[in-house]
Amino acid sequence: MASQFRHHHRVTYSDCTMGNHVYHARYLDILEAARGEFFRAAGVPLASLHEHELFFPVVESHLHHEATARYDDELIIEVVVTELDQQKIAFAYGISNTRNQIILSGLTRHICIGPDGKPKPMPAEFFNQLSLAFTGKPAAPAAPPARTPKSPSFPA
């Protein structure tokens, strides 16, 4: 498992808006699908984390649109982990088309919460597995003590 992941998406009418380009918000949906497959490829599908009452809501997103994507374009979504500890995870993304044109760059930040919406550190088992899969390196031997994320009341 490499520390970078690629996912493909074929643009549908549903993704597009007037003027025949992908509506800006749909890129977040496309990134979500890519991210879910990245977790699966890492051996830790998000659905399996749900069974352990762990969820990773998006707390921040940034999108930079470089060019338009159009109906029927095949998009290549590259995902890389930029930050990972037991409380949070962040991803950077690049989307390009098959003509190597960059469509979008972006990032999302996520915190790890339980079903009550309160921060909940990822168990070491999952953290180690994700560390190895996402970064190509095992988790740091002496993990820092659990810190309170910036948004302790999210989601209220």
What residue ranges bind its own copies (CB under 8 A)?
A: 10, 12-14, 16-21, 23-26, 28-29, 32-33, 36-37, 45-47, 50, 55, 57-68, 71-72, 101, 115, 117, 151, 153-156
Of 36 and 139, the one with the shorter C-beta distance to its own copies is 36
Of 52 and 138, the one with the shorter C-beta distance to its own copies is 52
Of 71 and 143, the one with the shorter C-beta distance to its own copies is 71
Least distance between its own copies and beta carbon 136 (Å): 25
**Residue 11's closest CA among 94, 67, 75, 95?**
75
Least distance between its own copies and beta carbon 72 (Å): 4
Q: Name the burial class of residue 25, with classes exposed (0-12), middle (13-18) and buried (19+) by CB atoms within 10 angstroms of its CB.
A: exposed
Distance CA 87, CA 66 (A): 32
Least distance between its own copies and beta carbon 111 (Å): 10
Of 51 and 141, the one with the shorter C-beta distance to its own copies is 51
CA 140 to chain centre: 21
Least distance between its own copies and beta carbon 143 (Å): 26
Amino acid at residue number 76? I
**Residue 1's closest CA among 39, 50, 47, 34?**
39
Q: Three-class SS of residue 94?
A: strand
